Structure 1
Amino acid sequence: MERVPIYQLSSEDPIWGSLRLDYPGFDDWLQKSKREHRMAWVVWGPDREAVAGLCLMKPETGPEFGMEGKLLKLSSFKVSERHRGFRYGELLMKAAFNSGYDEGFDWIYVTAFPKQAELISMFENFGFDEWPERKTNGELVLRKPLKASKEDW
């Protein structure tokens, strides 16, 4: 696994397929993200022929979805169909948490459609909770504080 700027990833990699189906304008968003030099954690398939899993990170500032301060959005979190079952999602989650802590983020969050039940369950198992309101496109917002609040004392 390695952290790379996403402009190094091929726009033709099969990992992007289902994301293109779920998000109108996905290719424009991907190109914009590449121009912004966003970073991603990547697990490569054998011989680096394709991406087995990835986690794109986007720094933001709150308030957003009940979160304040420095926010780390996992703007794409995906393990390819043929590489499931190898715990790559857990490796990517660990890398995202480490990045969030090391870079001083207050919160980490991700959005997901309800049909992505397996993904949502994984995030909940890692302590993410669901914001009570959905985004206008129907996505759920799953969030987790990375710093203790007064309520945690």
Structure 2
Amino acid sequence: MNIRKVKNTDNSCLAEIIRAAFHESDAPKQGTVYSDPTTDDLYELFQNEKSILWVAENDGEILGCCGIYPTEGLPKGCAELVKFYLLAKARGKGLGTRLMQKSIGSAKELGFAEIYIETLPEFDNAVSMYERAGFERLEKPLGNSRGIPVVIFG
């Protein structure tokens, strides 16, 4: 298992993984990352110097991704944990935890002291993982993200 930075050649595969998660969970597609045009060019999106996207692969097969992004409007010193998606066959094996920990470590290296997450209730396994990792639900969204902030952690 290898975790590495995103490459330009990863774009189409990562977009497929992200959209597959929405189909599997019957999550809303409009107004979410599913319909966001940046989903098709994640390499370019993560060229921001205060961001990073990690990609997990095994024997050349991309299994998922997770990253850190300085979403506009977040409090100073706070970054958002973003684009956290895995293929169904890669879930439940500790890979998600490894990707999340790698991303949180990167956030600290980039100078962030706090991490913010938005997710949808349809991704209930992710919600459970965030809670186990020590994230707490917030009453209202932070920043200017374009998602549907239903379950928010800080």
TM-score normalized by the length of structure 2 = 0.73
In the alignment, what sits opposite 2:84? 77
Counterpart selection for 2:107 from 94, 100, 104 = 100
In the alignment, what sits opposite 2:67? 56
Q: Does 1:26 align with 2:35?
A: yes
User: For 2:80 and 2:147, how far apart are their aligned partners in 1?
Assistant: 17
| Matched-pair identity in % | 22
Residue 68 of structure 2 aligns to which amino acid in structure 1?
Answer: M
Structure number with the higher strand fraction is 1
Q: How many residues align?
A: 137
Residue 52 of structure 1 aligns to which amino acid in structure 2?
Answer: L
Residue 26 of structure 1 aligns to which amino acid in structure 2?
Answer: S
Whether the aligned pair in 1 keeps the contact of 2:68 and 2:104 (CA below 8 Å) is no
Q: Say if 1:19 and 1:101 are closer, same or farther in 2 by CA, change over 3 A.
A: same
Runs of 5+ consecutive residues of structure 2 not aligned to the other structure = none
- How many Å apart are 1:119 and its aligned residue? 0.5
Residue 106 of structure 1 aligns to which amino acid in structure 2?
Answer: A
Whether the aligned pair in 2 keeps the contact of 1:19 and 1:26 (CA below 8 Å) is no
- How many Å apart are 1:111 and its aligned residue? 0.9
1:12-23 equivalences in 2 (<5 Å)? 12-13=13-14, 14-18=16-20, 22-23=28-29
- Structure number with bigger Rg: 1
Runs of 5+ consecutive residues of structure 1 not aligned to the other structure = 144-153
Q: Using CA pairs under 8 Å that are at least 6 residues apart, name the structure with larger relative contact order, 1 or 2.
A: 2
- How many Å apart are 1:33 and its aligned residue? 4.1
Whether the aligned pair in 2 keeps the contact of 1:44 and 1:53 (CA below 8 Å) is yes
In the alignment, what sits opposite 1:146? none
TM-score normalized by the length of structure 1 = 0.73
Whether the aligned pair in 1 keeps the contact of 2:4 and 2:56 (CA below 8 Å) is no
CA RMSD of aligned residues (A): 2.6
* SS of equivalent to 1:11: helix
User: For 1:121 and 1:142, how far apart are their aligned partners in 2?
Assistant: 11
- How many Å apart are 1:69 and its aligned residue? 1.2
